[in-house]
Copies of this chain bind each other. A is one copy, B any other.
Amino acid sequence: MDSSAPAWLTPPADVNALDPAIWPASVHRDGAGELVIAGHTATELVTQFGSPLYLIDEDDFRARARGFATAFAGWHVAYAGKAFLSRHVARWVDEAGLGLDVCSGNELAVALAAGFPPARITLHGNNKSLTELAAAIEAPVGQIVVDCGEEIDRIEALAAARHQTVNVLVRVTPGVEANTHEYIATAVEDQKFGFSIHSGRALEALLRCHGEPHMNLTGIHLHIGSQVFDTQAYALAAKRAIDLLAAFRDATGVELTTLNLGGGFGIAYTAADDPLGADRQAAGLAPVIEANRLAAGLGPLTLAIEPGRAICGPGSLALYTVGVVKPIELDDGTTRTYVAVDGGMSDNPRTALYHAEYTAVLANRSSTSTPALARVVGKHCESGDILVHDVYLGADVRPGDLVAVPGALAYARSLASNYNHATKPAVVAVGERGAHLVLRRETLADLLALDVDPGARDDRGTAGKEG
């Protein structure tokens, strides 16, 4: 046993194996041992599209979107665009019949540019600008999730000026800790989102929205966190939300019918993760919610969920090219092999940001060696520039090899930076349509387009020109 490895990680019997719980079904090794993704070898994809490279199995994405719709039949299912959004992705979501969540005016603009039906769009956000609210009302989107008191006034004023009625949900915090990392836990009270149920602010907000002449209040929304692996926290949050709906009915005589439980459904990044999957999530949640609804004496509810990562993550991976392999002797006498690749925290900051765990495999060939404890690091000038903290790779890993990291598109591309002037890798979809670009690779010219030439004198910006 390697004392430098975390407890959950054990040396694999076969370092070339692909755990089906982690890898997309379309990924396998060919006769030569090379990784094949939806019919395309890793080498072929990197040759055509460059390295590093994000890949998304388009058919996997579409199947998971439809899978959620089937598992949660009768519920409203919307894809959370913040996980990964582009015009192509918006089309896939549309064609799967799901709704789409956007968190900003620009996400809304991307969706509309893709022709996504505005009526199936929900606008989220704790601090929507007047411009964003106006764009959403003008679209008009299907609903806006109201997050604070100022926003009630702003939406009412904008809607009144346009003689429109706006569908709204009220974002509430049920005070449920989803047992996840602090930075992605969103339902405890001490946070920026929503109205607390416990303090009474949530009921107040519902009553205010109910009284606004240009608002159609349909129900409540909550979100308990990310990478959640059971249904208990959802069920408890739903119970508190249903009690709130009952309190609103008692106060007004009106029953609100929509209960949106948000997203946060966990996916498997490593063998230590055991996600429920859509079917078991639905089977676990529906009866508990139904029992609570009946106990509260409420009529039928329109339930809703918003998976993001659970749709776009499992079919995604990132390919990197190895540049440097450096064995480091550790204090305990073991060795850690640092495998430095041509990307890093610029294209996937999740490891540094959330202490997220990933796994990785050699992609251009099988290894013929024993497993060696490795750490996949990037090329940035920072020691925290780590992609995969702990993974067993074949000890023969060498410069020029390709390494694949499963799940490394969801939130990774969304959070990607240009640290050290790195350009964002391309995103390529693979599947029945073949391999095609979803987002092209950024270039140095793109970065320099923002960089004002000190030789030129025309550098007096105006807010209008800039905005």
Contacts and interface: CB of A to CB of B under 8 A. Distances in A.
Nearest to A377: B192
Given A127-B323, A192-B385, A448-B110, A437 B459 contact: yes
Contacts of A399: 150
A442 interface: yes
B49 A463 contact: yes
Given A85-B421, A127-B342, A192-B340, A91 B454 contact: yes
Contact of A450 (B127, B189, B424, B448): B424
Contacts of A91: 454
A452 B423 contact: no
Given A417-B415, A450-B439, A467-B441, A183 B324 contact: no
B421 A415 contact: no
A356 to B, nearest CB: 12
A186 B383 contact: yes
Contacts of A190: 328, 330-331, 336
A335 to B, nearest CB: 11
Nearest to A326: B148
Contact of A104 (B87, B379, B417): B379
B384 A182 contact: yes
B329 A199 contact: yes
A369 to B, nearest CB: 18
A381 B463 contact: no
B192 A420 contact: no
A340 B459 contact: no
A298 to B, nearest CB: 28
Contacts of A124: 381
A446 interface: yes
Contact of A442 (B329, B384, B450): B450
A82 B420 contact: yes
Interface in A105-160: 106-107, 109-110, 113-114, 124-129, 147-151
A3 interface: no
Contacts of A463: 46-51
Contacts of A324: 126-127, 147-148, 150-151
A447 interface: yes
Nearest to A4: B190
Given A114-B454, A450-B424, A461 B49 contact: yes
A113 B329 CA distance: 41
A451 B439 contact: yes
A467 B441 CA distance: 7
Contact of A454 (B88, B147, B435, B453): B88
A371 interface: no
Nearest to A130: B323
A444 interface: yes
A237 interface: no
A91 B375 CA distance: 38
B446 A449 contact: yes
A442 to B, nearest CB: 6
A250 interface: no
A462 interface: yes
Given A192-B377, A439-B452, 13 more contacts: A50-B467, A87-B452, A110-B448, A124-B381, A128-B379, A129-B342, A149-B326, A151-B324, A183-B352, A184-B382, A192-B385, A349-B353, A416-B417
6 contacts: A106-B422, A110-B451, A127-B324, A148-B326, A183-B352, A184-B384
List 9 A-B pairs, minimum CB-CB distance, nearest first: A183-B384, A106-B421, A127-B340, A127-B379, A103-B381, A186-B383, A127-B323, A441-B466, A50-B463
